[in-house]
Amino acid sequence: MTKTALSVLTVLAAIVVIWYLAVAPMNIRVALDQADRAGETVTPETPVERREVSSWTLMAKNSSHIAAGYDLDRPRLPTPTQVGKELWKTTGAMVLKGRTWSKRSLIYHGWVTLQSTFWGFLLGTTIGIIGAIAIVQSRVIEMSVMPWAIISQAVPIVALAPMIIVLSSQVGIEGRGFPKALISSYLCFFPVLVGMVKGLRSPTGEQLDLLKTYSASGVQRFLKLRLPASLPYLFTSLKIGIAAALVGAIVGELPTGAISGLGARILIGDQFGTPLAIWSALFAAAILAGVLVTLIDRTQHVLLRKMGMRS
């Protein structure tokens, strides 16, 4: 246990150290520009000249200004501390001030994204499971559906997302809830479909023959053998599916017009040049994904335990 914790912490520490080290070269230009405007002397003196020189040279020639790169309002790369502070400012601090659902609160935006993720996950999982059942039942359906499922994943979702939003408003669907869930399910259904097909086909010939000797019906074969045998596969797919659904929901918030949701925060942060907002939204998304995957993982553990499987 301590050994696992130690290796996890070592990796984490390494990431933080590399991140801190990267801040200096990434931010040196912005720091020098700022110092230049404040009337301090930097080498080379003009922004145009500085553009010709590498970050490493700038750092060597202006070592006294490196530290300033760690405390910028609009850094190229914020430090972990800055991101942490911004995250706290837009989550915990908002809660303390009683403004949890303010438009500046990431809890509010996270909740918006979470709702789309949930509906997208539900829709995608349903499509995936029903598709898998159909594919396993009939060879014809497999040959006519599977190629489209594979092709669908080759189309970049960022190209498709604006079209889905435009089309859904054309057919008179108000708001972004539905198109976002649709985009989310688009990414989510595929891993569920593939995993479930594999799971439903996992029973061995002997297990299937056994039911044949009982002269069991197709429905019985499905309920008593294929379905329970597929559950471990299903849960593995659900973990990939929920993360994909979250990515889909965020992508659905990117096309112009969205004002709430983590995706909108990222886009707005980009447009207004506030990298801290982008980074904190990114981290909020990552934390949310982690929580969702962990939830499914725990459910899997408990359920499969109950079913007598050693998971």
Partner 1 sequence: MTTETAIKAENLSLTFQTNDGPVHALKDVSLDINKGDFVSFIGPSGCGKTTFLRCMADLEEPTGGSITVNGVSAREARKSRAYGYVFQHAGLYPWRTIGKNVRLPLEIMGYPKEDQDERIKRVLELVDLAGFEKKFPWQLSGGMQQRASIARALAFDADILLMDEPFGALDEIVRDHLNEQLLQLWAKTEKTIAFVTHSIPEAVYLSTKIVVMSPRPGRISDVIENPLPKDRPLDIRDTQEFLDVAHRVREGLRAGHSYD
Q: Least Å distance between CB 210 and partner 1?
A: 6
Q: Which two tokens stand for residue 125?
A: 């999982």
Residue the block writes with tokens 């979702």: 157
Rounded to whole angstroms, how far apart are CA atoms 174 and 308? 47
Question: Contact at 8 Å (CB) between 26 and 73?
Answer: no
Could you tell me the smallest distance in angstroms from the CB atom of residue 219 to partner 1? 11
Residue 133's CB is within 10 A of a number of other CB atoms, namely 18
Q: Would you tell me which residues interact with partner 1 (CB under 8 A)? A: 204, 206-207, 209-216, 220, 224-225, 228-229, 231, 307-310
Which CB, 104 or 305, lies closer to partner 1? 305
The smaller minimum CB distance to partner 1, of residues 122 and 304, is found at 304
Report the C-alpha gap between 186 and 192 in whole angstroms: 11
Return the number of the residue (135 or 225) whose C-beta is nearest partner 1. Answer: 225
Nearer to partner 1 by C-beta: 59 or 216?
A: 216
Taking the complex as a whole, the smallest distance from the CB of residue 299 to partner 1 amounts, in Å, to 16
* DSSP type of residue 237: H
Q: Under 8 Å CB-to-CB from 86, ≥6 apart: which residues?
A: 78, 276, 277, 279, 280
Q: How far apart (Å, rounded) are the C-alpha atoms in residues 144 and 42?
A: 67
Closer Cβ to partner 1, 26 or 229, answer by number: 229
Q: How far is the CB of 229 from partner 1 (least distance, A)?
A: 8
CB of 9 to partner 1, least distance (A): 35
